[in-house]
A and B are shown apart, each in its own frame.
Chain A
């Protein structure tokens, strides 16, 4: 066992030595300066708090999906800020400014490419992070609310994706904005008014672009960042060990064995005194360097992929927006294909709101309520067929809808 006797002590010493090296330069001017700063800022305490954390030994590579999501969001914020070096949020100049980037500023074109491919990879990684959390049963007590925060984060990122797609004000962006702002007009009672609010008038116009620009670069990020903070604070509060793989053998444990495991638990364990079986993981590792190493490797791989895609393929820019277009087919971004297919499958009068609001609304609500709908006892996926099978069907349904949409859009 990890937490026993000499092994524990040795490990503790090793960890202290490692952290000491990290945070306390041994001699000279550096040491004096460091001590001066540390006395006032508490750097050592902070670094210890961030890095000195016991994490589960098993499932650690899968756990790197969460940190990869964080790194990719930071990448989006960074590349986004530097796109503002050139981009002008105006119907007459937005396309011109991006066209300039694409043909006269190779580095800015790479930044733009990384912003686009970063978004694509982010959607994939968030999806995998969600699947990992779902399959491993990590949303169970006491992590129910953190699952809901995760779903809200996912919705905010979807919002960022769709508003970002409108900003280039090329044909694709313009017609995406037309369809999205018209969808809301099918809301009951206030539909037309909401559309006017989003467009800044009954028609698409210069105020439409400034609105979605403000939503994309300030409103949604300002909601996203504190929610990420909350997600991480709760992660640390509950401990990074919600997965079933951290509790294999927990049910065969005798009372005495469990009592001993609990006795050796340290903060933030036990997460909840009322749930002793799942309060302390069976097998522990160090957050630094074991988990940070895996996180760093995965994030590097993803950013490398994004960089290569940005250089090799880049971000497309179609012709400038033409409101009088006669035969332009806007293809939604791939992550919105299932919703686009619902627009075709629910035609006419009252069925349109069913397709655009009710079905996606029910889907989102069910996703949020997963921790409360799942009343199964264990966390192993094979012991939870009541939730695993319906979830599998939902995923298959989304893939099927996306394939139908692709088939429709490419066979016109």
Chain B
């Protein structure tokens, strides 16, 4: 093997080394960063039950807004609780009264909806979404019904968790 050939193979070795070291350096830096970016997807939040109200005060057929203070569900570090609006609705069905706890978060772009007493709909002022009393989307851009809070009754006291489930 001539000197020139040896030189080339040494040169090739070093270029390979540069690429390998570069890739290794990049991987060592990127792996923890990518992991930290993705971590919210794998983090399991804990949502405690929060008291809302005594449901005896809620009239049948009139969605009633309650503001409850919830913590951040363990998604991140401890901060003061944040408020959420819960629409407690007593639906008058044929044989019984059904109780639901609606979120006031529009399913389109998550703006805040409110119960319009004159039109008898939940209305979203952002892009004109409309929902009926049980949260069914009946007009505008929303793709699905209003979400509902997980709820439970202890006696006449309503508790919710800050977990949204699909509506009717």
Contacts and interface: CB of A to CB of B under 8 A. Distances in A.
A290 interface: no
Residue among A196, A202, A322, A328 with the most chain B CB within 10 A? A202
Contact of A347 (B40, B125, B140): B140
A1 interface: no
Contact of A178 (B43, B110, B114): B110
B162 to A, nearest CB: 7
Interface string A189-209: 000010011011111011100
Interface in A196-245: 196-197, 199-203, 205-207
Interface string A368-412: 000000000000000000000000000000000000000010001
Nearest to A199: B40
Contact of A197 (B40, B65, B80, B84): B40
B40 A324 contact: no
A328 B65 CA distance: 15
A201 B143 contact: no
A207 B75 contact: yes
Given A206-B72, A206-B76, A328-B112, A348 B141 contact: yes
A352 B141 contact: yes
A91 interface: yes
A329 interface: yes
Contacts of B127: 340, 343-344, 347
Contacts of A412: 125
A92 interface: yes
A61 interface: no
Contact of A344 (B37, B65, B104, B141): B141
A153 to B, nearest CB: 24
A179 B110 contact: yes
A348 B128 CA distance: 12
Given A201-B73, A203-B75, A206-B72, A325 B110 contact: no
A244 B150 CA distance: 66
Interface string A160-200: 00000000000000010011001100000000010011011
Given A206-B79, A322-B83, A327-B125, A200 B40 contact: yes
A344 B128 contact: yes
A349 interface: yes
Given A179-B126, A205-B75, A327 B112 contact: yes
Tier of interface size on chain B: 35 or more
Contacts of A202: 45, 73, 75
Interface in B101-132: 104, 108-112, 114, 125-128
B145 interface: no
A329 B126 CA distance: 6
Contact of B43 (A91, A175, A201, A352): A201
A120 to B, nearest CB: 23
22 contacts: A179-B109, A182-B109, A197-B40, A197-B41, A201-B40, A201-B45, A201-B76, A202-B45, A202-B75, A205-B75, A323-B82, A324-B82, A324-B104, A327-B112, A327-B114, A328-B112, A343-B109, A343-B127, A343-B141, A347-B127, A347-B142, A347-B143
Closest 3 CB pairs of A and B: A201-B75, A347-B141, A324-B83
Interface of A: 90-92, 175, 178-179, 182-183, 193, 196-197, 199-203, 205-207, 322-330, 340, 343-344, 346-349, 352, 408, 412
Given A201-B73, A201-B76, A324-B85, 11 more contacts: A92-B80, A178-B109, A178-B110, A193-B41, A206-B79, A207-B75, A324-B83, A328-B125, A330-B126, A347-B141, A352-B108
